[in-house]
């Protein structure tokens, strides 16, 4: 069955499990690697290296976010164009997007490499703490022209109906990156830069593997002579802006958080926050992978005018997001000590107690966090970038900064509560957006 028939004719329930399960497994592989990355650095290189990794990570993600602006932004118009039978238009968007991602990766990578010392110094770090963060950041900057496209090609594979191939490549990337990182750190005894090099090497190899079927012309999407137009770039940018702003705003929030963490609690506080982010880095990719894997199907059906079918697919997305999130809440509340000891060799009771306290305050947010994620994905898939962007930016930046101000006197406890407060506010905003756009979203 070709991708058009798969997305428009498969029963919604079967479509959900056929697309969402491989998507979740692929993201699970990525999430497991992120966990392993934190475990390797924390256990083999120590708490200072673990804190340095978390200090540098917001800048690493900003680098990838710029490529995601094009990768995610192009996926929506590509899916809708294919659903409308305009394959040539879809191929042009695909080709132009790949070129733009490579160029952005080169430019931003060069800027980040040069500016790394100033960026890390701005965070208030110095000495070995700062030097390790700079090393980690610079490896990603050097590899940026190639690594940044790996997440975009994952979207393109799913658009072409190659969901299982996307899953397998994600698994290979995670296993290869983890294996190389272990060799570099444990066998060769390299420093934190070896951890970054292991990840980047796995990404490069898998990006090459993923593009082979496109280069051979075996996919519905094919490379063609690029034709750049202002309207096309504007459409890509508008569709990608919610995800881009979410990533950028989230990193700005993380930078502000890290500045306050260094000020109020030093390396230990940064390590606590890092553990929270690694836990979220396991749960959020699962949720994102499950919901995002249905975006091509939603786009295909929306483009084909099959609006009732779109709503049927979205019911599965919202319901599954809730179930996954509630399971996450249970795990965090039942096993906080075990989660803590995965990432650190620091067994001081005061430190472990602070992490457990922070995990429980943080974990409560998953009770409702899924609703905003599912709503934003729905809005994005049907080319409603304005409400999707509003939800995105509010969740990643506006609400967290507002809560930092409101909970300022609570110091670190206020920072641990920030995630849960943001989740509640984002859910309320999502309800408002669904109500405001109800006539367009729920057309017959």
Reported as a single tens digit per residue, the pLDDT across 307-358 is 888 888 888 889 988 998 999 999 999 998 888 887 776 778 888 888 999 9
Cβ pair 192, 137 in contact under 8 A = no
Confidence of residue 229 (pLDDT cuts 50, 70, 90): very high
Rounded to whole angstroms, how far apart are CA atoms 20 and 320?
10
pLDDT at 85: 87
Average pLDDT over residues 33-45: 83
Instruction: Burial-class residue 246 by CB neighbours within 10 Å (0-12, 13-18, 19+).
Output: buried
Rounded to whole angstroms, how far apart are CA atoms 266 and 260?
9
Cβ pair 35, 278 in contact under 8 A = yes
The structural domains of the chain, with segments of one domain joined by +, span 3-441
Note if the pTM is more than 0.85.
Answer: no
pLDDT at 2: 60
Cβ pair 203, 193 in contact under 8 A = no
Cβ pair 162, 174 in contact under 8 A = no
Distances in Å between the Cα of 336 and the Cα atoms of 147, 205, 298 are: 34, 36, 37
pLDDT at 309: 87
Per-residue pLDDT at 417 exceeds 80: yes
- What number of other Cβ atoms are within 10 A of residue 204's Cβ? 18
Mapped onto helix, strand or coil, the DSSP state of residue 228 is: coil
Nearest alpha carbon to residue 390 among 358, 428, 433:
433
Per-residue pLDDT at 206 exceeds 80: yes
Reported as a single tens digit per residue, the pLDDT across 50-105 is 889 988 988 888 888 888 889 888 988 998 898 888 999 999 999 999 999 999 99
pLDDT at 443: 65
pLDDT at 157: 92
Reported as a single tens digit per residue, the pLDDT across 271-321 is 889 889 888 877 887 787 778 777 778 888 888 788 888 888 888 889 988
Per-residue pLDDT at 38 exceeds 70: yes
CA angle 438, 16, 283 (to 5 degrees): 90
Cβ pair 54, 277 in contact under 8 A = yes
Q: Considering the chain, what percentage of its residues have pLDDT values greater than 70?
A: 98
Per-residue pLDDT at 7 exceeds 80: no
Fill in the DSSP letter of residue 219: S
- Residues 6 or more apart in contact with residue 312 via CB below 8 angstroms: 12
CA angle 100, 23, 30 (to 5 degrees): 75
Question: Of residues 338 and 4, which shows the higher confidence score?
Answer: 338
pLDDT at 19: 76
pLDDT at 409: 94
Per-residue pLDDT at 188 exceeds 70: yes
pLDDT, mean over the chain = 88
Q: Considering the chain, what percentage of its residues have pLDDT values greater than 90?
A: 47
Per-residue pLDDT at 1 exceeds 60: no
Per-residue pLDDT at 208 exceeds 70: yes
Per-residue pLDDT at 444 exceeds 60: no
């Amino acid at each position: 069955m070709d991708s058009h028939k798969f997305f428009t004719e498969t029963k919604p329930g079967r479509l959900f499990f056929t697309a969402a399960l491989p998507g979740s497994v692929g993201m699970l592989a990525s999430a497991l690697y992120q966990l392993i990355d934190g475990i390797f650095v924390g256990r083999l290189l120590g708490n200072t290296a673990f804190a340095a990794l978390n200090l540098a990570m917001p800048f690493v993600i900003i680098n990838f976010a710029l490529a995601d602006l094009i990768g995610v932004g192009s996926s929506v118009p590509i899916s809708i164009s294919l659903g409308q039978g305009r394959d040539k238009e879809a191929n042009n968007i695909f080709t132009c997007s790949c070129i733009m991602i490579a160029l952005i990766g080169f430019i931003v990578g060069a800027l980040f490499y040069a500016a790394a010392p100033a960026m890390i110094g701005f965070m208030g770090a110095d000495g070995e703490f700062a030097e390790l963060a700079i090393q980690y950041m610079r490896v990603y900057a050097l590899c940026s022209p190639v690594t940044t496209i790996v997440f975009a090609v994952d979207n393109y594979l799913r658009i072409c109906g190659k969901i299982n191939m996307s899953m397998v490549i994600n698994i290979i990337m995670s296993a290869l990156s983890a294996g190389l990182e272990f060799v570099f750190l444990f066998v060769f005894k390299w420093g934190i830069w070896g951890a970054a090099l292991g990840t980047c090497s796995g990404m490069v190899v898998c990006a090459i593997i993923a593009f082979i079927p496109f280069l051979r012309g075996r996919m519905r999407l094919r490379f063609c002579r690029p034709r750049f137009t202002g309207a096309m770039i504007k459409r890509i940018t508008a569709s990608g802006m919610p995800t881009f702003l979410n990533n950028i705003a989230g990193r700005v929030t993380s930078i502000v958080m890290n500045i306050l963490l260094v000020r109020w609690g030093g390396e230990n506080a940064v390590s606590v926050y890092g553990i929270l982010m690694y836990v979220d880095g396991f749960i959020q990719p699962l949720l994102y992978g499950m919901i995002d894997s249905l975006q091509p199907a939603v786009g295909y059906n929306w483009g084909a005018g099959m609006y009732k079918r779109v709503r049927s697919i979205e019911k599965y997305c919202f319901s599954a997001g809730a179930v996954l999130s509630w399971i996450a809440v249970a795990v965090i509340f039942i096993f906080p000590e075990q989660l803590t000891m995965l990432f650190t060799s620091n067994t001081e009771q005061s430190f472990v107690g602070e992490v457990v306290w922070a995990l429980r305050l943080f974990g409560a947010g998953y009770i409702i966090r899924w609703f905003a994620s599912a709503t934003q994905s729905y809005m994005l898939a049907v080319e409603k970038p304005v409400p999707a962007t509003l939800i995105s930016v509010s969740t990643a930046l506006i609400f967290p900064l507002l809560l930092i101000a409101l909970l300022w006197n609570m110091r670190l406890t206020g920072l641990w509560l920030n995630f849960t407060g943001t989740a509640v506010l984002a859910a309320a905003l999502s309800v408002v957006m669904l109500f405001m756009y109800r006539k367009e979203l729920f057309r017959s």
